[in-house]
Amino acid sequence: MMINEIDGVDWESMGHAYGPASDVPGWLRGMSSADPEVRDEAFSDFCNAAHHQGDVYPCTAASLPFLFEMADSPATPDRGSVIGLLLSIGRESLDMDPEGVYAAPDGTESRAHVDALAVMGGRAEAFVRWVTDPDQEVRRPAIEGLGLFLDDGVRAVEVLRGLLAGSGMVERLLVVEAVATVALRDAAVHGAAAGWLDALAGDAAHVPEVRLAALVHRVRCAPGEIGDAVVPAAVNLLRRITPGETGGEDEASCRAGAEPDVAAGPAPSPGVPPQIAAAFEDLERYGRVHAPTTSLLEVFHTLLDDRVPERTALLAEQLCSVDPGVRYDAIRMARELIGQWRGDHTGLVVLLGGCLLPGDAYTAAAAAEALGSLGPVGEPAREALASYVGEARAEHGPLVWAARDRLVRRAHQEAVRALARMGDLRALPYVLAALDEGADAWRAVQVAGHLGGAAGDLTPRLSKLLAEVDFADASQSMSAHALVSALRELADPQAAAALTGAISAAVREEQWHTAAAALTALASFGPGAAFGLEVVRPLADAQDLHVRAAATAALWELEGEAAGVVPPLVELLDTHERDEAAEVLGRIGRAAAPALPRLRKMLTAGYEWTRVYAAAALWDIGGDAEAPAVVETLLAAWAENDATSNHVLACLSRMGPAARPALPRVREELMLLRRSGRFRSISNDEELQAACHSITACF
């Protein structure tokens, strides 16, 4: 057996992501172990080091012959995973420039991806054997491998077409995809393969899933030829899909809600902040697929790209599907479409609200979470959220926030949180119950700041929780920040005492970022929080620059005396806190005129964000005299980094008629289909569009 020759390879001369590749032979042997834990660890170690983030190293290419042998051996316990690894290495190699040279870990030049593809092509006959293997976990990756790596395109299509009859649903969809893959890489078979896909899409003898796959992959073969009839045809096929057709033992695990407890995940480890545990749980949940057609529909949406009306029509059908798996996976796709593209998404938002079904907490939780992420765009689902929250209370009682059923609890919490983000006080009783009882209180804290109309109820509770934070425990910093942020958003001066105490405690434990955040929150209350000056004033000379800048800004907000804060703020312009200092100087306005020379100099900084903050401060302090340089600087920074756009537009909006030279760029922005703004988030983009409209209204 070839595996016995593994020690004959000079692994020591090769490297992977973390050093010499001498440990690769042990991992390869571990992949054949009868012990599942040993196998899992071996696969994990290999992927983390020898296939790190998809990289292909010389040791990765050298491993391929041994992986092929393992995949061929009936004695290998998990052949499907081995073939999956082969497929991953091959795919990544295909995606790399065939003429390119890449740096190996030791700094030498590497063409390992070329070597890897040579091995994949030379051993591609193995995929022909594996596509008929009795084990479906072997067959499925082998189908894709056959489409990618068998050099003889005519033979590849012939073998693939022969698999269509008698295969399970997942395999049939993979066959159709693989035929299109062959057509795309081999011009000699493109026409025949495209014709077969056309015929298959129109053949009523096949189930709608297969016909839909043929339709989508025919488009994939010629994406520039998408006609007006394609999406209606796809919608018609989607309507014909029923749960019974996509069923079967091998697909049962795809069903939404098939295993309710899986949505909750394991209990977090001791000492792990609940926010971190929840983030990992969300990542695991995000990767699930609940219907065989999901990846196919994702491909279709990618092909349709900026055809938002057509994609919306397709998603509307997905969200109304009788198949719960199709509906569930459509929630994420709808969320992505709304998040990426501008337009009137009312119809999709209403359909997302329609997924808040009391009898399906698993799907309802996903819909509520999606609605909560949409910001102002989620407004059309407000009443659906309120209805769901009320029905959950009626069925499970007033303590449903802490329901024992983890699916019910998550769905209810997500619906409450989405409602709270809209400022809807119907969420308040559940937020208060969470804060009082302590069950998942951190989830309530994250949205409490949006309920400004209930500050009288919320501020005392949040202040109490902030007072209970142990600032000596770094793991509590996330909770402290969330509490500080919520109190700032509520804008209730009654929180000033608690924030002052938090500043002192954070400084005592050298939790500088928390101290700075609390200083900023305290400053937002203005002169009404002046009693905190005895804590704030000494921090204006703090060693930590972040705290010093926040304390100096707080002095201005609490006292309003420019003479005492402008000089230290000008000094901060020469530190990494220059942006915050410039922002405060801008708020001070004309009284900050001594900063003008330094701010003008900052317009030549190499970092575009520094130039934006400086330009905005220049306008706010110097006014019309600075306008030409300010507009020029803002437009240049915007062109260089789109993430600055919200800050740029906010300043241009304040400038009124003086912003006229920016008008063409502002109008151009309003013509864009894709969302923009910082982080390309929905809320930032909606704010950006509002600023653009405000500017154009001036002319």
Query: pLDDT tens, 14-58?
Result: 999 999 999 999 999 999 999 999 999 999 999 999 999 999 999
pLDDT tops 60 at residue 95: yes
What is the sign of the dihedral through the CA atoms of 37, 254, 51 and 153? positive
- pLDDT number for residue 290: 93
- At residue 264, the pLDDT reads 40
Helix axes 645-655, 682-696, angle to 10 degrees: 30
Q: What is the pLDDT of residue 100?
A: 78
Residue 253, pLDDT > 80, answer no
Look at residue 5 in the predicted model and tell me its pLDDT: 80
Going by pLDDT thresholds of 50, 70 and 90, the confidence category of residue 252 is very low
pLDDT tens profile 205-216: 999 999 999 999
Q: What average pLDDT does this structure show over 634-653?
A: 97
Instruction: Give residue 268's pLDDT.
Output: 53
Q: What is the pLDDT of residue 427?
A: 98
- Residue 50 class from Cβ within 10 Å (0-12 exposed, 13-18 middle, 19+ buried)? buried
What is the reported pLDDT for 267?
52
Q: What is the mean pLDDT of residues 433-444?
A: 96
Residue 101, pLDDT score: 79
How many helices (H) and strands (E) in the chain? Answer: 36, 4
**In a 10 Å sphere around its CB, with 0-12 CB exposed, 13-18 middle and 19+ buried, how is residue 312 labelled?**
buried
pLDDT tens per residue, range 317-331: 999 999 999 999 999
Average pLDDT on 126-149 reads 97
Query: Which has the closest alpha carbon to 233: 268, 265, 197, 258?
Result: 197
Whether 474 shows a pLDDT value over 80: the answer reads yes
Q: Is pLDDT of 143 > 80?
A: yes
Alpha helices per DSSP H over 202-270: 208-221, 230-240
Tokens of 147: 């489409």
As a residue count, the chain comes to: 699
Q: List, in sequence order, every residue forming a beta bridge with 572; answer none if it has no partner.
A: none
In the prediction, which pLDDT does 94 show? 95
The residue type found at 385 is L
User: Is residue 81 predicted with pLDDT exceeding 60?
Assistant: yes
3-state secondary structure of 674: strand
Please spell the DSSP secondary structure of 100-157, one letter per residue: --EE-TTS-EE-HHHHHHHHHHHTTHHHHHHTT-S-HHHHHHHHHHHHHH-S-HHHHH
Q: Which amino acid makes up residue 398? A: P
Residue with tokens 């006014």: 623
Query: How far does the chain reach from its first CA to its final CA, in angstroms?
Result: 80
Q: Stretch 229-253: mean pLDDT, rounded?
A: 73
| Residue 529, CA distances (Å) to 453, 532, 553, 634 in order | 21, 6, 13, 35
* Mean pLDDT for the chain overall: 93
Nearest to residue 59, comparing CAs of 91, 84, 32, 22? 22
DSSP β-bridge partners for residue 16? 19
CA 629 to chain centre: 37
Query: Mean pLDDT across the stretch 402-407?
Result: 94
Mean pLDDT score, 89-110: 83
For residue 461 the two structure tokens come to: 């509770």
Q: What is the C-alpha to C-alpha distance for residues 385 and 379, in angstroms, rounded to an integer?
A: 10
Per-residue pLDDT band at 106 (split at 50, 70, 90) = low
Helical spans, DSSP H, in 150-206? 153-163, 169-185, 187-201
From the list 151, 248, 171, the residue with the least C-alpha distance to 160 is 171
- Which pLDDT belongs to residue 334? 98
Does 105 have pLDDT greater than 80? no
Amino acid at 619: W
pLDDT (average), residues 679-686: 96
Q: Does residue 598 register a pLDDT over 90?
A: yes
- Give CA–CA dist 311/305, Å, rounded: 8
Query: Is pLDDT at 69 greater than 90 in this prediction?
Result: yes
Tokens of 373: 């992420």
pLDDT band at 2 (very low <50, low <70, confident <90, very high): low
- Identify residue 574 by its one-letter amino acid code: D
User: 573-581: long-range contacts (C-beta < 8 A, 24 or more apart)?
Assistant: 573/598, 573/599, 573/602, 574/598, 575/545, 575/549, 576/545, 577/545, 577/546, 577/548, 577/549, 578/602, 578/610, 578/613, 578/614, 579/609, 579/610, 579/613, 580/549, 580/550, 580/553, 581/549, 581/552
Contact 516, 536 (CB under 8 A): no
Q: Residues with Cβ < 8 Å from 222, sequence gap 6 or more?
A: 194
- 520-549 b/e (C-beta count within 10 Å ≥ 16 → b): bbbbbbeeebeebeebbbebbebebbbbbb
Answer whether residue 289 shows pLDDT above 50: yes
pLDDT band at residue 102 using 50, 70 and 90 as cut-offs? confident
